[in-house]
Amino acid sequence: MTARPTVVVVDDSPELRAVVTARLQASGLFEVVGQGGDGGEAMMLAHAHQPTLMLLDASMPVLDGLECLPLVLAVSPETQVVMYTGFGARGLAERARQLGAVDFVEKSVPLDVLVDRLRALVATSAPRVGREARALRVASEQDDVAVRDQQLLDEHLERYREVFDQAAIGMATMTLNGSIVRANPALVHLVGLPAEELVGLDYGVLTRQHGDLLDQALARITTSEADSVVFDHPIEARHHTGTARVTLTPIRDSGGEPLYIFAQVQDVTTELALRRSEDVFRLLVSAVEDYAIFMLDVAGNVASWNPGAEHIKGYRADEIVGRHFRVFYPEEDQLVGHPEHNLELALREGVHTEEGWRVRRDGSRFWARVAITAVYDDTGLHRGYAKVTRDQTEQREYEEQLRVALEQQSHLLAVTAHELRTPAAVIAGAVGMLRDGDRDEEGLGVGLDQEQRAQVLEALSSSAQRLQRLLSDLGTASDVQSEELELEPEQVSLRHALRSSADRVMAAHGSERIRVQVGSDVELVVDPARLGQAVDNLLENAVRHGRPPIALRGERTADGVRIEVSDAGHGLEPELVDRVFDRFVHAGATAGTGLGLYVVREIARLHGGEAAYVADGTDGRPAFVIDLPVGAPEH
């Protein structure tokens, strides 16, 4: 029987693997030689079996199908990988083909359709299977063989006829001079010649100009008592080019004299390719630096070490081989036996995966994604574990940053909506009063008195200023983030700049009083609009979140000028002191956008200065300060 195409099924669903395997086996067209539940097992199974086909699930734990596909093809280049997935996205199919998949099959298709798709993939190279292959029988005899030899051949051939014709490898009976008397279907397929052309043919013709190897083998059999002779030669048929391994065994009479030759011819191209792939695999493992790939013995001691392991964990091979792998775990995990427990899980379940903290040689920790797979030999004996570790620290930090960014964005949207709601309500109410305040219920004009109109207009002005300040902070923060904020510096009086900010804030808040103190006036080169924005923000914070009296001071320092804003409040909570100028940092859900102080600091820095919070200001009260140089900022 001609060997059927071999298949490995990899899917994280045991039930699906069982159903697909049963259907492929029942078809009689394929032989399922292995099953796996994740990408790590896919790579190991590809390396071990070199299958004709691999059904590979796209979504799996540890290593998904897209991640492990290049690794599978690296260790088994001849394997045709079919991506078998529950996702129908066009982009996923295109990506799978870019990585080397030969087909993309959705799990929703009937199993019979799946079988047909797989059969079509191997139709051009797979050997014929089932009844058609079993029906191939070569039974002709060689007319020019001596009757005496033919009778002897018949006596022995009868005993091997059934196994001979149904064998998966090529078989032939030959005369002592190498002429083929009988060939089985497997040999017919291997060499690509009809059975009738093989009968009577000198086997040396099939060796592709290596007939001397056959002559030497026949000489050893006829001149010695050798039980068998083996040699390799190239084969080149219509459907295949590779290497054949021939084993010649003499059939002897009771006196030990050879009667005829029994030949087994096996295609070892795959075996040789496997050896080459093992070399490629070793090179691959040695070249990979993003993954620590190494072996453990049955006790958990490190048995091999690749450059990726050295890169990630910091140990050289001579420092770690032979030591127990528990050294990679934090001390708290070692104390509770977590490493040993992981080996137990891998042995029981076949593979164990997890994410957690691991320890490098220098004692530093990193966040790792780990897969431990139990490894067995061909006899089923447990030989150890394969361990794959990937440093996920940067990915974890990125995910944490993304989470924080989303929280900050959510807070900004909520607070912005809150900040907009009050001035919007004031403006809407004021407009309504101005529009309807001149009429009574009968439509007669009653009018607003002068004081009422002044109050309405003051409310409108205050709300407009509040909106402008919010928009200004949002715009400035955006410009800072995109590095597009530019200054327009000019010479400004410190006393005039501070007095202008105090007037704006007092006008917006009516009853609030701000005490402005400037020891001696100083002329400095700044962008007056940006400086005003920064000072306004500090005063707004004092008005909204502090307690009166509020003081605004300006003074000359040895390095330039210092602007200080203080109030009678209790100051910042200790946990906010180191972060208060960071973007989106706020004291609570109603504390503002978290942009005001960030904008203050960035404006100060653009001027070559700095902003800070001091727990003990000029008058002993907590204060926010801006330190600026007198001259123009350098850029």
Question: Could you please report the per-residue DSSP string of 292-319?
Answer: EEEEE-TTSBB----HHHHHHH---HHH
Give the length of the chain.
635
Q: How far apart are CA 189 and CA 127, in angstroms?
A: 8
Mean predicted confidence (pLDDT) in 192-205: 82
Provide the 3-class DSSP secondary structure of residue 574: helix
Quote the pTM value: 0.36
What are 230-248's pLDDT values in tens digits?
999 988 866 667 888 999 9
CA–CA separation, 36 vs 38, rounded Å? Answer: 6
The CATH number of domain 483-628, selected from 3.20.20.70, 3.30.565.10, 2.60.40.10, 3.10.20.740: 3.30.565.10
| Beta bridge pairs of residue 54 | 8, 81
Q: 430 vs 84, which has greater pLDDT?
A: 84
Write the DSSP assignment of 425-474 as a string of letters: HHHHHHHHHHHHTT--TTS------HHHHHHHHHHHHHHHHHHHHHHHHH
Domain 136-272 grouped into CATH 3.30.450.20: yes
**Cβ atoms < 10 Å from Cβ of 186:** 27
555 vs 568: CA distance, rounded Å: 20
Q: Which one is predicted more confidently, 430 or 311?
A: 311
List phi, psi (to 5°) of 494. -60, -45
At 62-113, the pLDDT tens digits run: 666 777 888 899 889 999 999 887 654 455 677 678 889 999 888 777 888 8
d(Cα 494, Cα 242) in Å, to the nearest integer? 90
Highest mean predicted confidence (pLDDT) among 244-258, 398-412, 587-601: 244-258
Residue with the bigger pLDDT between 135 and 348: it is 348
- Residue 511 banded pLDDT, cuts 50, 70, 90: low
The span from the CA of 63 to the CA of 51, in Å, is: 20
Task: Give the per-residue pLDDT at 136.
Answer: 31
Q: How confident is residue 307, by pLDDT bands cut at 50, 70 and 90?
A: confident
Given a contact cutoff of 8 angstroms between Cβ atoms, the answer to whether 513 and 541 are in contact is no
Segment 310-361, tens digit of pLDDT: 889 999 999 999 999 999 999 999 999 999 999 999 999 999 999 999 999 9
Q: Which CATH superfamily hosts domain 6-130?
A: Response regulator (3.40.50.2300)
Give the pLDDT confidence score for residue 609 in this predicted structure.
92
Percent above pLDDT 70 for the chain: 71
pLDDT surpassing 60 at residue 399: yes
- The more confident residue out of 11 and 164 is 11
Superfamily of domain 288-391: PAS domain (3.30.450.20)
Higher-confidence residue of 572 and 561: namely 561
Specify the range with the lowest mean pLDDT, choosing from 32-46, 468-482, 611-625. Answer: 468-482
